[in-house]
Amino acid sequence: MTFQAKARFSSMLEDIQVGPSYIEWKGKKLTEDALTWQPPVTGTVYGTLLNFTEQVEALQSQFNKDPYKKPPIRPIMYIKPKNTFNAHLKEVAIPEEINEVEINATLGIIIGKTATNVKEEEAYHFVEGYTIVNDVSIPHDSYYRPAIKQKARDGFCPIGPWLVGKEHVVDPDNLLIRTFKNDELIQVNHTKELVRSIPRLIQDVTEFMTLYKGDVLLVGVPYNPPKAIVGDTIRIEIDQIGSLENQFVMENVQVAKGEHR
Q: Band of the pLDDT at 146, cuts 50, 70, 90? A: low
Q: What are phi and psi of 89, to 5 degrees?
A: 70, 10
Query: Cα torsion for 208, 210, 215, 218, to the nearest 10°?
Result: 20
0.85 surpassed by pTM: yes
Mind listing the pLDDT tens digit for each residue in 6-44?
999 988 999 999 999 999 999 999 999 999 999 999 999
Q: State which amino acid sits at residue 197.
A: S
DSSP per residue over 111-168, as a string? E-S-BSS--GGGGGGGEEEEEEEE--B-----SSS--HHHH-STT-EEEEEEEEEGGG
Mean pLDDT of 165-182: 96
Mind listing the pLDDT tens digit for each residue in 211-249?
999 999 999 988 889 999 999 999 999 999 999 999 999
Q: Which domains does the chain have, with CATH numbers?
A: 39-257 (3.90.850.10)
